[in-house]
Amino acid sequence: MSDETGPPRDNRDASTAGWSSGFQRFRQTPAIVVRTSLERFVQEVSTSQLRAWDESIPKLQSEAGEVVDGDPRAIAYTAILEYQLPLEARRTDVIFLVAGAVVVLELKGKASPEQADLDQAAAYARDLRAYHRECQNCPVHAVLVPMRANNAPELLDGVWMTGPRHLDALVRDLATSASGPSPNAEQFLAPDAYRPLPTLVQAARELFHSGDVREVWRARAATEPAVERISEIAHEAAASKTRRLVLITGVPGSGKTLVGMRAVHARSLDDLAIPRAGGTPTVPALFLSGNGPLVQVLQHVLKGAGGGGRTFVRHIKDYLDRYVPRPNRVPDEHLLVFDEAQRAFTSDKVREIHKKWPEGIVRSEPQHFVDLCERMPEWSVLVGLIGTGQEIYVGEEGGLIQWCEALSSTFALFGGLVTG
C-alpha cells in the first residue's frame, strides 16, 4: 500500500482496519478525519471511546512524524489503527509496520498500568505471531503505552512500556534492531492473511489427540460411531462435490460436544481441502458455539502454547460477522460444527444481535450457515449438535423447523442423520 492510499472506506469486503496509511500521510491528516474513519469502521462507538481517540490520535501523529524526521526509512512505514482480529471481537489499538518488524501498541488512558494491561499487549503480539501470515518470519513487538505517563521505555515481562513522548525513540530502536524491509501493508491487511499457521495447527491437534485433556476425552468410546460416520460423510461429500447436513441428537452429557470436537480436529480433512485465493486453508473445520462460557472453557482447556485454543473453537457471532456482511469472502473451512443447533436464532434475533449489518441481508442462523456452506469450494458438511430436553429462550423458538426451511431455500443436499 502506498503512502497515498488510506483506509478502504468504500469496500467493506476488503476492510480489516479503521485506518491505514503511511506515516507521512498519517501525520498530515487532520485528527478528526482519522477519528471519523475509525467511527465509520467500528460503528456504535461509546463516548469513552471517542474521548480516547481524541486524546491518543494527535499524540500518535506527532510521534509518527518524529520517526519520519529522524529516520529516512520511515517514509515506507505504515500506521494501522483498529485492526480487527478475524473471528474475534477484539481489535488492536495500533499496529506500526516498520523496517523488518511489526510493532503492536496497546494504549491505556492512565499513568500507571496494571498487570492485566501488560498481559493484553502480550496477547495481541502472541496472536499475530501465531495466526498472521506476514508475522511468521518477522519479529512482533508488544508495546504498552499509558497515555498519561512520561516514563522512558522499559521491558517488562516481554512487553515494552513507554510514555507516549518516548514512543518515537522506541520505534526507531526496534526498527534499527531488525533487518529487512517494512512488511507490505496491502498483504498485511489482506482478509486471508490472518489464519492459524501450520505449526500451531499441528500443536493444537497433538494436544487434543494426546488424551491429556481428560475432561474432553472422558466419553471417547461412546462417540466413536458418530465420529466415524461424520468422517465417511465428509469423504463422500468431497468425492461427489456435494453439500451435506448431519444432525446429531442426544441428551445433555451424552458426548455431543466431544463428537464435534473430534470431527473438527480430524487430520484426514487436510487432504480434502480445496485451495482458495489465499492458498489451501490450514484449518478446514471449526467448532462453533453461541454459548460464550463454553467457548471460553474449551479454548482455555485446549490453549496449550501460543494461543492454540482458538484454532478450532470459535463463537458463532464472530464467525457470522466475518462472512455474512461480505458476500465475496469465501470461508476457509469445509466442515462446520454448529453447537446446540436446536437453539439457532430466528431472523428477528439475528437482526437484534448483528446491528451493524447492512439492511436486507438478515436471515435466520440456519439460513446463513447453509448459505456460507454454499460458498465453500466444491464441497461442505454442516454438523448440527441437537440437545434434547433443554430450555429454549427468546429468539430460539424456531427450533429444527428453521433448518428445514433453510434447506428448502437452497440447493444444499441432506446427507444423513446420526443419533448419539
Closest CA to 15 of 92, 103, 82, 105: 82
- Residue 20 to residue 34: CA distance in whole angstroms: 9
* Mean pLDDT for the stretch of residues 24-33: 97
Higher pLDDT, 329 or 44: 329
- Residue 181 to residue 177: CA distance in whole angstroms: 12
Q: What is residue 178's predicted lDDT score, i.e. its pLDDT?
A: 76
Indicate whether 72 pLDDT > 60: yes
* Mean pLDDT for the stretch of residues 144-160: 95
* Mean pLDDT for the stretch of residues 222-228: 85
* Mean pLDDT for the stretch of residues 212-233: 74
Grid cell digits, residue 115: 498487570
Q: What is residue 400's predicted lDDT score, i.e. its pLDDT?
A: 75
Poorest-pLDDT segment among 24-28, 103-107, 214-218, 272-276 = 214-218
Higher pLDDT, 207 or 117: 117
Q: What is residue 413's predicted lDDT score, i.e. its pLDDT?
A: 45
Please report, to the nearest 10 degrees, the dihedral formed by the alpha carbons of residues 291, 307, 173, 153 taken in order: 60
For residue 69, the one-letter residue type is D
Indicate whether 141 pLDDT > 50: yes
Indicate whether 389 pLDDT > 70: no
* Mean pLDDT for the stretch of residues 110-120: 94
- Name every residue whose Cβ is closer than 8 Å to that of residue 8 and which is 6 or more positions away in sequence: 14, 15, 20, 189
Phi, psi of 395 (to 5 degrees): 95, -5
Q: Which domains does the chain have, with CATH numbers?
A: 17-193 (3.40.1350), 198-419 (3.40.50)
* Mean pLDDT for the stretch of residues 297-318: 76
Mean of the per-residue pLDDT values of the chain: 86
Q: What is residue 390's predicted lDDT score, i.e. its pLDDT?
A: 56
* Tens-place pLDDT, residues 275-300: 988 788 889 999 999 888 778 777 77
Q: What is residue 418's predicted lDDT score, i.e. its pLDDT?
A: 44
- Name every residue whose Cβ is closer than 8 Å to that of residue 243 and which is 6 or more positions away in sequence: 237, 373, 374, 379, 380, 381, 382, 411, 412, 413, 415
Q: What is residue 13's predicted lDDT score, i.e. its pLDDT?
A: 41
Indicate whether 194 pLDDT > 60: yes
112 CB neighbour count, 10 Å cutoff: 10
* Tens-place pLDDT, residues 239-248: 999 999 999 9
* Tens-place pLDDT, residues 322-376: 999 999 999 999 999 999 998 899 999 999 999 889 888 999 999 999 999 999 9
* Mean pLDDT for the stretch of residues 253-271: 89
* Mean pLDDT for the stretch of residues 396-401: 67
Q: What is residue 419's predicted lDDT score, i.e. its pLDDT?
A: 41
Q: Is 213 exposed, middle or buried (0-12, 13-18, 19+ CB in 10 A)?
A: middle
Poorest-pLDDT segment among 62-76, 170-184, 215-229 = 215-229
* Tens-place pLDDT, residues 121-132: 999 999 898 889
Distance of CA 159 to the CA centre of its chain: 22
DSSP β-ladder status, 335-338 and 159-161: unpaired
DSSP string of 332-377, one letter each residue: S-SEEEETTGGGPPPHHHHHHH-TTSPTT----HHHHHHHHHHHSS
Q: What is residue 325's predicted lDDT score, i.e. its pLDDT?
A: 92
Grid cell digits, residue 182: 517494512
Distance of CA 119 to the CA centre of its chain: 19
pTM: 0.75
Poorest-pLDDT segment among 134-143, 207-216, 352-361 = 207-216
* Mean pLDDT for the stretch of residues 175-190: 88
Band of residue 27 on the pLDDT scale cut at 50, 70, 90: very high
Largest CA distance in the chain: 67
